[in-house]
Amino acid sequence: MMTTLPTTAQLTERARTALERCGASGFEAPAPTGQSARTPITGEPLFDIAYSTSAETDQAIGTAQETFRTVWRDTPAPQRGNLVRRLGELLREHKDDLADLVTIEAGKIRSEAAGEVQEMIDICDFALGLSRQLYGRTMPSERPGHRLMETWHPLGVVGIITAFNFPVAVWSWNTAVALVCGNTIVWKPSELSPLTALACHGLLMRACQDVGAPMGVHQVVLGEREVGARLVDDPRVALLSATGSVRMGQQVGPRVAARMGRCLLELGGNNAAVIAPSADLDLAVRGTVFAAAGTAGQRCTTLRRVIVHEDIADQLTDRIVGAYGQLRPRIGDPFDDDTLVGPLIAERAHTALHGALERAAADGGRVLTGGERCLEKEAPDAYYVEPAVVRMPSQSEIVCEETFAPILYVLTYRTLDEAIELHNGVTQGLSSAIFTQDQREAERFLAASDCGIVNVNIGTSGAEIGGAFGGEKDTGGGRESGSDAWRAYMRRATNTVNYSDELPLAQGVNFL
């Protein structure tokens, strides 16, 4: 077990350095006006930062709206793309600085933190190309001398509410695409990850200066639920993109709908992988372990259920438990290159993990490995845990819930129909996978999985930016990142152009 952790003083200095290098300034605010930024690595506060007041939040929305109306929506899309291009260049220059902040605030191991920043770079590349490809259609008109077409236009102010587990990538998915579509941004990050937001805002402001874009295109507001609620309820926010729990989405969605606003919701997942008898077990074990234990089980795409054929269940389970044994000595300092599992975000995640394990045991589950807290002596205010594997006799109530912690439930099946029924038998619908070398099984699963992401012979996590990201059912139905997800940030207009000197009506109607 790794036991050497950096001190809070060391992490504080590293965070300050990264923030200053990214162009963030004036971020510290003494108590009582400030709130503490914390790190899950030691569980202790770093320094105080200023939260946004209600008046400051309203002003931020107003600035974004005015910038949209007076400048940004009329700026040609390729010029808007130039801003995103420059942001991508700055992200490349400051990849290590941002990765430092992601590790300090979210507890991600170094390679995952760097990978998250790479996602930001990739989406900037994607959005730059998109700025010249916001295509509409031309359709044949039934009337002579007429042209029928559709055009796409920006919405206005886009509010973005992000979660702690991907503190910068999800912001970039929304921001890069929304900006080239002609929208302006107000971002409310998680109260658990404000420092990454300040750094990203600093880099984007530098990009605005470098290319001559208006500074008002992007605003950051810091705070807790009250600040997010102002974005939810303000009619000036044309689209609210919110990432978080299903419960959060169930509250946000109706409130935005009540004011006839638009929502883009990315909510919880309870992701499963079906392991068929024909599966390459080496591949299945590797894919399962990363998807289940990566980010200490704190991804929305984390693998939470393995549905394995009963003929290979014991063999697969033994191999997964063996692989988890190799993780145990590699839990610890996420800055250490040998570490594979960093800390949980906070005490409440640890409480949820143990509550779930107790409920699983009451339902007949058997913990095969993990679930124990570690490094408690070295960091009494931090929460490091051994990822757990639990053999379950059935898909009980606790298995159908998402516990945002590293618990992997193992269930068995006899027929593929039964596996698909188990897989779809939860309210969430984000990511799914099947491991099989049988093409018929693979194709049936691709058609039958009710998730927004369906994979074959890879795990449930690790989406690329080229595809649209999002899920169905309680996951919210939103789509971000690649493919045609850009359409969520624009409004469609159907246009008819009459270039004749007649005025025929559609459907042969005669009137005058």
Q: Strand runs (DSSP E) across 67-155, as ranges?
A: 138-139, 146-154
In the numeric block, the tokens 């590797």 are attached to: 286
User: Coil, helix or strand for 282?
Assistant: helix
Which residue of the set 44, 119, 266, 441 is catalytic? Answer: 266
Residue among 451, 102, 113 nearest 304 (CA): 451
* 272 beta partners: 305, 432
Can the peptide bond before residue 235 be classed as cis, meaning omega within 30 degrees of 0? Answer: no
Q: Which residues contact 97 (CB under 8 A, 6 or more apart)?
A: 17, 18, 21, 22, 199
Show the tokens assigned to 110.
Answer: 């170094």
Q: What's the rounded Cα separation, in Å, for the pair 27 and 93?
A: 21
Active site residue 266: yes
Other CB atoms within 10 Å distance of the CB of residue 505: 10
- Asked if residue 149 lies in contact with residue 136, where contact means CB atoms within 8 angstroms, the answer is yes
Counting Cα atoms < 13 Å in the Cβ hemisphere of 380 gives 1
Show the tokens assigned to 323.
Answer: 């692989």
User: Coil, helix or strand for 332?
Assistant: coil
Q: What's the rounded Cα separation, in Å, for the pair 254 and 236?
A: 17
In the numeric block, the tokens 């009710």 are attached to: 450
* 367 beta partners: 390
DSSP string, 293-330: HGGGG-STT-EEEEEEETTTHHHHHHHHHHHHHHHGGG
Q: What's the rounded Cα separation, in Å, for the pair 339 and 294?
A: 11
Counting Cα atoms < 13 Å in the Cβ hemisphere of 217 gives 29
Q: What's the rounded Cα separation, in Å, for the pair 87 and 285?
A: 38
Q: What's the rounded Cα separation, in Å, for the pair 107 and 193?
A: 10
Which residues are the active-site residues? 266
